[in-house]
Amino acid sequence: MNTNDLRDMWDQDRPAGLNGTQILRLAHRARARRRLTATGVGAAAVAAVTALAVTLSGGLWNQPDGIAGTPTSPAPTATRVSTLCSPGGMPFDFTDQPGLLTADARGQLVVTSDGPTASVIRGGVTTQVLSLPETQGVMRAYTDGRFVVLVTALTANSGDPGQEVWTWDAEQGGEATRLMTSYDGSWVQVRDGYALISLVEATTGQTTVHLVELANLTQSVVHTGADVTPSLLTGGRYLIAVPGADEVQVVGTGPAPTEPVVMYPPVTTNGSTWTFRDSNDAEGHLMVWSPDMDQPLPLVPNAQAVEDAQVGTNFALVRDLNNPWKLVDLRTGAVILLPSATESGPDTEYQLTVDDVLLRDPMDSRSAGPEPSVQQGWVDLSARTVTC
């Protein structure tokens, strides 16, 4: 069995149009839809008659002990736009990179894979950091410029769990260190020397969320429950939306919105700006909003068809099943339609990292099926502003 066979097994039963990463997101978001109501009063969760509601405080939410980091990445700029606009054309170019997994802001560290191995490119020098048997494969990678977290897949018939999570430190060098094992799937975010790692049990949606300080590999379980939506913010802070039988709670150490806004899952945030559905109806929209805006703005008209929504630091990336990818500058309201459909091959896939690096056709988006029809690549948006 080779790496391509492994990737085929990973995706053989997936719905058309979804990749492995998106399935893991849907597994803990889509089993039940519940309404989140952000108000500025109190911190207790309250039940609504027709949908579940939560009251979010204006300060820290249910802060656990021992979680307080110093942000090294830039804080998000407040979103104040009142209208969306189109700048026309592509205002930036991608840097081509075969085998791309991820890249950091400023492009000083790029992670690539050929299947069973993972390598880091720094200053033009390529260093192999992980080598697996041919029957296994590197699926995904995340980095903040110093630390790299890798997710690898094991064979389905080996008797071993399905995925492993590894970490590598650019200052220490050497080989990657195995951090933890997931039986069904994992969802990772890396920022400011911290990793927020969600280990998902696919059949039940039960998720265990770990916060790891990567310099010393200190980790703590910050939440265990079903269908949670975690977001890693700057300085090791985080937010987790937790649906329950009678109420929805929000736990974490990040700032809460202070204005009344009704949100339906999937809810994503960078601590300043939020994307969410405005209803469960077919006529609902995928919205973007921050407390500095007069009202939320629609990004996608049919929220039921949303395939993906990601929020970086100052950009958001959204896509529905019928329209191209949209990249939104959350400071100016500029909406860029990214090239997606091609005549000679499959649609182009995109991912947005937490620090605003836009990835084109990273490895996990091609875990099965035909080869990409465009070159894999990345562009650093962390120091860019797009205007109309």
Cis-peptide into 87, omega within 30 deg: no
**Average pLDDT score over residue span 159-181:** 87
- For residue 35, the model assigns a pLDDT of 53
Residue that is written with structure tokens 């916060």 in the block: 211
What's at 266, amino acid-wise? P
Q: Tell whether the model's pLDDT for residue 169 goes beyond 80.
A: yes
Report the chain's mean pLDDT, rounded to a whole number. Answer: 74
What digits encode the pLDDT tens for the residues 115-141? 889 999 998 899 999 999 888 889 899
Give the model's pLDDT for residue 161.
Answer: 56
Do 73 and 144 contact (CB within 8 A), yes or no?
Answer: yes
115 closest CA partner among 142, 143, 136, 141? 136
C-alpha–C-alpha distance, residues 378 and 356, integer Å: 10
Tokens 């696919």 locate to 202
Quick one: fold of 3-380?
Methylamine Dehydrogenase; Chain H (2.130.10)
Longest dimension (CA), the chain: 59
d(CA 61, CA 42): 11
Residues 297-305, mean pLDDT to the nearest whole number:
73
Which residues, in sequence order, are bridge partners of residue 383? Answer: none
Q: Is the pLDDT of residue 29 over 80?
A: no
Least confident interval from 149-158, 181-190, 255-264 = 255-264
Find the Cα–Cα–Cα–Cα dihedral 242, 246, 247, 251, rounded to 10°.
Answer: -40
Contact 80, 294 (CB under 8 A): no
Q: What is the pLDDT of residues 194-248, one digit of tens each?
A: 999 998 877 776 889 999 999 999 999 998 887 777 889 888 999 887 765 444 4
Q: Tell me which of 5-9, 45-49, 179-183 is least confident.
A: 45-49
Region 322-334 average pLDDT: 84
Residue 46 has pLDDT above 70, yes or no: no
Task: Tell whether the model's pLDDT for residue 257 goes beyond 50.
Answer: yes
Select the highest-mean-pLDDT range: 63-67, 164-168, 224-228: 164-168
Radius of gyration of the chain (CA): 20
What is the value of pTM for the model shown? Answer: 0.77
Query: What are the residue ranges spanned by the domains of the chain?
Result: 3-380
Whether the per-residue pLDDT at 282 is higher than 70: the answer is no
